[in-house]
Amino acid sequence: MALPLLPEGNRGSAALPMDFTYRSAPKARQTQIFYDRFSYSAFPHVVRLEGDELLLAFRQAPREDRVRHTHPRSIITLIRSADGGQTWDRPNASQMGAGGGQELGLIYLGHGKVGGALAAHEVVPMHEGERSGFAQVHEHEYPFRNVGALWCWSNNFGLTWRLENAILVGDGLQACAPPVRLADGTLMIASYGALGRSKTSSAVVHRSQDGGATWSAMATMARGRPQTRHYHEPVVLELAPGHLLGMLRFADQGQYPRGIFWQNESLDNGKTWSRPKPTPVRSGACPRLLKVRDGRLLLTYGRRFEPYGIYASLSEDQGKTWSKTSWRLRQTPDADQGYTSSVELDGGHIFTASYAKDARGITGITGTFWQLP
């Protein structure tokens, strides 16, 4: 049985089926990729290069008494695996995005070129906020400014990232999902943030038709509504040439259940988008989409409501409905987790990276090998 999307007019918790049914993912096997007791590590992105080589990027920042999304020593750490995620070359990790790297969504373009959507902040110490001109926007964060969404690239399999290989695509906006390459070669980066004078978060997309050399003005994917609706952390997937599926994290002031995903579509390569509609999938973190080889859509996410964990849902009809039963990839001790990233290996096997706490309460990067049901 599958759960369909619901009309936007159906409001309130009673309108959405919030009962949650799950099973353990078939043949799930857990691994710890990176845990450091001095670090808060989160927001992983994994991509398959050539053969069995995987490249993984994540945010690494000093561990503090509370979770912070900004820090003057926040960086993007990159590590790789030569055996499909079985082992990772942690001693030879490299870094980029110094001083405010939040996350780096990865795409492999072939011939050694790796692209990335970098979410970049400028961050200063607490006592330097006035001199820097950065406001302390959030009570528990360092003074910072959101630089924006940047297109970055490496020409040597992600081994080095030259500073000049970066283009500011979305000024003041936040990237979250990896870039996508459409059937016609168009590159696309989705991001979110306040547009103009609005304080409401909206989702937008930027397009490049020359391999990332230049980028178009943004197209609005989902516009927020003041005080009632905020769209965050959009992800885009191409269903067929020119036909795109978008999914969004949604924040609402009580009209809809907390933590559900919304989704919409574009039929013209992302130039215009349909009105978003709520789905029955409840997370509280960001969605991540993957089209697997058998044609189904795979949605992975961290569930920040009990039962906590990393879960997957499947669609057999191009996202019109999602499976009533979710598949639990990993149980987690609390809601500080999620931000998944998956690659399909051989024989219907999936590798899903995420972040979560270990038994000591240290936040780090996890991996789950599992079989598609």
- Residue 135: exposure state from Cβ atoms within 10 A (0-12, 13-18, ≥19): exposed
| pLDDT single digits (tens) 311-343 | 999 999 999 999 999 999 999 999 999 999 999
Tokens for 76, please give them: 């993007």
User: What is the reported pLDDT for 229?
Assistant: 84
Single out the residue of 255, 370, 330 nearest to residue 16, CA to CA: 255
Q: How far apart are CA 256 and CA 116, in angstroms?
A: 33
Q: Is residue 12 part of a domain?
A: no
User: What is the reported pLDDT for 10?
Assistant: 46
User: What is the reported pLDDT for 252?
Assistant: 75
| pLDDT single digits (tens) 130-188 | 999 997 778 889 999 999 999 999 999 999 999 999 999 999 999 999 999 999 999 99
| Number of domains the chain contains | 1
Q: Is residue 4 part of a domain?
A: no
Predicted confidence (pLDDT) at residue 16 exceeds the cutoff of 80:
no
Report the SS3 class of residue 240.
strand
Q: How far apart are CA 132 and CA 143, in angstroms?
A: 9
Mean pLDDT estimate for the chain: 93
Which position has the token pair 């990276």?
353
Q: Is residue 17 part of a domain?
A: no
User: 164: how many CB neighbours lie within 10 A of its CB?
Assistant: 5
- Could you write out the DSSP letters of every residue in 314-359? EESSTTSEEESEEEEEEE-SSSS-EEEEEEE-STTEEEEEEEEE-T
Q: Is residue 6 part of a domain?
A: no
Q: Is residue 54 part of a domain?
A: yes
Q: Report yes or no: 58 and 77 within 8 Å, Cβ to Cβ.
A: yes
State the Cα torsion 157-107-192-63 to the nearest 10°.
Answer: -50
What CATH number is given to the structural domain containing 65? 2.120.10.10
Task: Provide the pLDDT confidence category of residue 1 given band limits of 50, 70 and 90.
Answer: low
User: What is the reported pLDDT for 255?
Assistant: 72
Predicted confidence (pLDDT) at residue 286 exceeds the cutoff of 90:
yes
User: 359: how many CB neighbours lie within 10 A of its CB?
Assistant: 6
Predicted confidence (pLDDT) at residue 195 exceeds the cutoff of 70:
yes
| pLDDT single digits (tens) 35-93 | 999 999 999 999 999 999 999 999 999 999 999 999 999 999 999 999 999 999 999 99
The model's pTM is 0.95
Q: Is residue 247 part of a domain?
A: yes
Q: How far apart are CA 174 and CA 219, in angstroms?
A: 15
Instruction: Look up the domain containing 190 and give its range.
Output: 26-371
User: 188: how many CB neighbours lie within 10 A of its CB?
Assistant: 22
User: What is the reported pLDDT for 157?
Assistant: 98
| pLDDT single digits (tens) 105-123 | 999 999 999 999 999 999 9
